Amino acid sequence: MLTNYSWNDREFHFDKNTMDAEHISLSADGVLREFRINMTYSISKNHEFDLSIRSYLLDEGRIPFSLLTNDKVIE
């Protein structure tokens, strides 16, 4: 049973190629956050250099990190 394993460790306990299923789904209760860093440098009049980095984090959505999106405020 998959509930015996933590959500981020489940796929390592089973071989997806030999499972008797057509799809694998994951459900997690939390808040998905996006962190983005953008830098743009002008090289010449018609050219610029753009560097972007994105990172995502799934957390539990508890106060104080999620003031407007935590479960207590929504419910």
Burial 13-28 (b: 16+ CB within 10 A, else e): eeeeeeeeeeeeeeee
- Per residue in 36-53, pLDDT (tens digit) is 999 999 999 999 999 999
Predicted pLDDT of residue 53: 96
Task: Report whether 32 contacts 57 (CB < 8 A).
Answer: yes
- Per residue in 7-43, pLDDT (tens digit) is 777 777 777 777 777 766 766 677 778 899 999 999 9
State how far the Cα of 61 lies from the Cα of 29, in Å rounded to an integer: 9
Give the residue, 51 or 75, on which the prediction is more confident. 51
Q: Report whether pLDDT(55) > 90.
A: yes
User: DSSP letter at 5?
Assistant: S
Q: Which residue reads 């957390």 in tokens?
A: 59
Q: What is the pTM of this model?
A: 0.42
The DSSP bridge partners found for residue 36 are 54
